[in-house]
Amino acid sequence: MKVGGSGVLKRLNKSSILVTDIANQYWCERQMELNYLHGKKYTKQMERGKQLHEALQDEVYVPLTIEPVSYEDFMFKTAYENYRSLLSLRQKGICRELRVYGSLNGYRISGQIDEMKLVDGKVRVVERKTTEASRKLTEVYTRPHRMQVMMYRMLLGDIKAKRYTHANFTRIYGLTNDGLSDVFKRELQAMGVRGELISPYMMSKKMFDEFESMPEISNRLEVVYVDRFSGKQISSTEIEYTESEMAEKTAYVLKFWNGERESAPVEEAENWKCKFCKFYGNECKVWWKGG
Ligand code: SF4
């Protein structure tokens, strides 16, 4: 049964779309959907990937150590960390773990960019993937990663070109000068954060000012593959971003979120993916041969 746009988000118990959801649509869209309907499995591999990310982040940046209590504390903290990351990009030529926000045909969308670095004066978006060193980096395997890094490029471009502004952001996320918890405010004051900046609205304004004034964004994107066990780089792929390819791909993914089509299972030629899928033979029997 097909349902309307907000109906799909509601059915999946979501209020926004993540960049990784869209990337996963390019692995198996049905699996992405079933993960929301039947719960995600937190695997050991994911935990190891997370540890590697955290280790890399520590190389360039110390996050704000105050624990958020309220929603506004959390949004302040994210804006502050993003602001600091963008300063690091400007000053050191690199930043890691940057949250990015935007809108896709009215859907709220967000994601976390692994790395941005300055190459020949332009900002290059880099996505890091942990994998097994023996894994063949085929087109099918790398397709979602390509989509993920292209989405980040698109969202950054929208902010820089002011198609998605601080006014959009504060309206969508309901941010004003109020809402910080007393304990969070006291900690900020102890850190020397100035009066008017103790506001989710003003801190997110600083973040947007930095986004908008960052150097030109490169159309050359990079996906780096890192060995899951040693943490060493295996290979890196460069991708050329074009607006026409992006427009075509977003039109396709939106048809799912709009409820204009059912989620697509993998094609028959790629049904080997099903063997690694926890829904195979359970919630999904598209390619199930029984047994
Ligand atoms: S069993 Fe195959 S088609 Fe079904 S959700 Fe899993 S990967 Fe997709």
The tens digit of pLDDT for each residue in 190-249 reads: 888 878 999 999 999 999 999 999 999 999 999 999 999 898 999 999 999 999 999 999
Output 60 or 264, whichever has higher pLDDT.
264
Q: Ligand 1, closest atom to CA 280?
A: 1
Q: Ligand 1, closest atom to CA 284?
A: 4
User: Whole-model pTM?
Assistant: 0.91
Provide the pLDDT for residue 42. Answer: 43
**Residues 6+ away with beta carbon under 8 Å from 92:** 60
Q: Is the CB of 201 under 6 A from ligand 1?
A: no
Q: Residue 3 Cα, ligand 1 centroid: separation in angstroms?
A: 21
Per-domain boundaries in the chain: 5-276
Output 43 or 267, whichever has higher pLDDT.
267
Question: Above 70 in pLDDT, residue 55?
Answer: no
Provide the pLDDT for residue 48. Answer: 64
Q: Is the CB of 266 under 6 A from ligand 1?
A: yes
pLDDT band at 3 (very low <50, low <70, confident <90, very high): very low
Percentage of residues in the chain having pLDDT higher than 90: 81
Q: Residue 66 Cα, ligand 1 centroid: separation in angstroms?
A: 41
Provide the pLDDT for residue 2. Answer: 44
* DSSP output for the chain: ----HHHHHHHTT-SSEEHHHHHHHHHHHHHHHHHHHH-----HHHHHHHHHHHHHHHHH-----PPP-SHHHHHHHHHHHHHHHHHHHHHHSEEEEEEEEEEETTEEEEEEEEEEEEETTEEEEEEEEEE-TT----HHHHHHHHHHHHHHHHHHHHHHTTSS-HHHHHHHHT--S----HHHHHHHHHTT--GGGSSHHHHHHHHHHHHHTSPPBPSEEEEEEEETTT--EEEEEEEE--HHHHHHHHHHHHHHHTTSSPPPPPPGGGGGGGGG-TTBTTTB-SS----
Question: Above 60 in pLDDT, residue 69?
Answer: yes
Q: Is the CB of 31 under 6 A from ligand 1?
A: yes
Question: Above 60 in pLDDT, residue 4?
Answer: no
Q: Is the CB of 150 under 6 A from ligand 1?
A: no
Position of tokens 């390019």? 26
Q: Is the CB of 205 under 6 A from ligand 1?
A: no
Q: Is the CB of 286 under 6 A from ligand 1?
A: yes
Mean pLDDT (the chain) is 91
pLDDT band at 66 (very low <50, low <70, confident <90, very high): confident
Q: Whose CA is nearest to atom 3 of ligand 1?
A: 265
Q: Is the CB of 277 under 6 A from ligand 1?
A: yes
Output 4 or 1, whichever has higher pLDDT.
4
Q: Give me the mean pLDDT over the 244-263 stretch.
A: 97
Residues 31-60 as b/e (b if ≥16 CB within 10 A, e otherwise) read bbbbbeeeeeeeeeeeeebeebbeebbeeb
Query: Is the CATH number 1.20.120 carried by domain 5-276?
Result: no
